[in-house]
Amino acid sequence: MGTGLIHGAPGAAVHLCIDMQRLFSEAGPWPTPWMPRVLPVARRIAERHPARTLFTRFVPPHRPEDRPGMWRIYYERWRAATRAELDPALIGLMPELAALTPPAVTLDKPGYSAFTAPDLLPALTRLRATCLIVTGAETDMCVLASVMAAVDLGLRVIVVADGICSSSDQGHDFLVTLFRSRFGSQIEVAPCAEVLETWRPEAEGP
């Protein structure tokens, strides 16, 4: 299970594109080498219906002490990625995606999961979304956290196989296999071509 769209065409779907930012490009402190390959896929899906596309941005704190507990320790290690030291332009979306906003919407989040963005659930409610089409970075971090949170909420989740990327080949491959096997009845993994062939957002209304 979990290979292709096992539950048929997406229904009232929203494209959730996770953290496709310059922060994770080769210009940033956390480069994801696959991003150039995945970026055109995310853009193709976003272009299908920009008004039903939500882009998240991972926004580090200004200083490590601005975050609690283990996050503080994390950012003490990655002080160069805090906003006190980071080029603020690196927080921005990749230009190919930023060009679609508006009507696409950008949501900022402090944690791995897209659901740490305060405005995500209200946006999904406004769009009457029951299904998430997921692209973005990184497969084994922010994509993983977001997908599992969506599953817990009972949302249908479609992970675009050629639309997600990681800085770890091992982590990416393991997670895709896990999605297809252990979570095959709740998480579908399908290629971009299949998603675009079956997603008809114009029938969903505004």
Residue 1 confidence (pLDDT) above 70: no
Task: Check residues 128 and 204 and name the one with the higher pLDDT.
Answer: 128
129/202 Cα distance (integer angstroms): 14
Q: What is the pTM of this model?
A: 0.94
Q: Is the dihedral of CA 27, 112, 158, 106 positive or negative?
A: negative
pLDDT, tens digit (0-9, with 9 covering 90-100), for 97-134? 999 999 999 999 999 999 999 999 999 999 999 999 99
In this predicted structure, what is the pLDDT of residue 201?
Answer: 62
* The 131-137 sheet, strands edge to edge: 105-109, 53-58, 13-18, 131-137, 156-165, 187-190
Average pLDDT score, the chain: 94
Residue 11 confidence (pLDDT) above 80: yes
In this predicted structure, what is the pLDDT of residue 202?
Answer: 54
Q: What percent of the chain clears pLDDT 70, i.e. is strictly above it? A: 96
In this predicted structure, what is the pLDDT of residue 174?
Answer: 93
Q: What percent of the chain clears pLDDT 90, i.e. is strictly above it? A: 89
What's the whole-number mean pLDDT along residues 34-46?
A: 96
pLDDT, tens digit (0-9, with 9 covering 90-100), for 146-187? 999 999 999 999 999 999 999 999 989 999 999 999 998 899
Query: All domains of the chain, ordered by start, with CATH?
Result: 13-60+88-204 (3.40.50.850)
pLDDT, tens digit (0-9, with 9 covering 90-100), for 47-102? 999 999 999 999 999 999 999 999 999 999 999 999 999 999 999 999 999 999 99
206/128 Cα distance (integer angstroms): 9
Residue 18 confidence (pLDDT) above 90: yes
In this predicted structure, what is the pLDDT of residue 184?
Answer: 87
In this predicted structure, what is the pLDDT of residue 72?
Answer: 97
Query: How many Cβ atoms sit within 10 Å of the Cβ of residue 204?
Result: 17
93/18 Cα distance (integer angstroms): 10
